[in-house]
Amino acid sequence: MQQTYYDFRAVGSAYLLKNEELGLALKSQTEVETKHRKKSTLREYTEAIIVAALLALFIRAFVVQAFKIPSGSMKSTLLVGDHILVNKFVYGIRLPIWNTELVHLSNPKRGDIIVFQYPVDPSKDFIKRVVGIPGDTVRIQNKKVFVNDQPLEEPYAIHSDNRILPASISTRDNMAPITVPPGHLFVMGDNRDESHDSRFWKFVSFNDLRGKAFIIYWSWNRDGVMTWSPSLSYVRWNRIGKLLN
């Protein structure tokens, strides 16, 4: 009888030990699975961030890029504080670092509003309107622009200075005929008397093009006040979503 009692105790102890070992094994497995899930979640987040960053870089390099207007040279088409989007593939696809054209799609047209590297200082980006394309002859007479001896219709142009400067002083208002060479553009700001453009530093190379501006997505008036009036508010609500042409 006593032997049977000890046998039951031995069996019970073995059973408890087995359960304890099983519990430890399950706990260990659960900890491993939890760590694995944490690693999987961290990996998923990391991969998502990397993919998003690469996608953003791709879009910025080849599809669309945002720019802010810092000066009034394109007034009143573009105002200081306007934020615009530029179509980077409308003229072709270029490798951003080497600036090599992979695919040519089209050439800029007269009237296009373009962003380009400033020829005098490539570290800066300028925005102007295309006035002359390759082969065009451009001249200016008393502030009036002529392209191929035809007066240019330009309802967007404004003049803030009534004075007319002779060509001997400045090419702002009077400029002798000049022919645009192949692969280049003659550009001007819409605010004619307040723009530093091709009248002074000649042409923009196709190789320096960033793209074509097409929409204002935000407009901030740093001199504004807290009001809903579009002309006085910090945010120019009436300009948001405006297409550029």
pLDDT digits (tens, 9 = 90+) for 25-65: 555 666 655 666 666 788 888 888 888 888 777 777 778 99
pLDDT in the model for residue 20 = 56
pLDDT in the model for residue 79 = 97
pLDDT in the model for residue 225 = 85
pLDDT in the model for residue 209 = 96
pLDDT in the model for residue 55 = 79
pLDDT in the model for residue 100 = 84
Task: In whole angstroms, give the CA distance from residue 201 to residue 238.
Answer: 35
75, 88, 128, 212: the active-site residue: 128
pLDDT in the model for residue 191 = 98
CB 133 within 8 A of CB 107: yes
Encoded amino acid at 91, one letter: Y
73, 195, 198, 219: the active-site residue: 73
Verify whether residue 128 is a known catalytic residue. yes
pLDDT in the model for residue 235 = 93
125-132 and 184-188 strand pairing: antiparallel
Verify whether residue 242 is a known catalytic residue. no
pLDDT tens for the chain, residues 1 to 245: 444 444 445 444 444 445 555 555 555 666 655 666 666 788 888 888 888 888 777 777 778 999 999 999 999 999 999 999 999 999 999 887 787 888 999 999 999 999 999 999 999 999 999 999 999 999 999 999 999 999 999 999 999 999 999 999 999 999 999 999 999 999 999 999 999 999 999 999 999 999 999 999 999 999 888 888 877 899 999 999 999 98
pLDDT in the model for residue 8 = 45
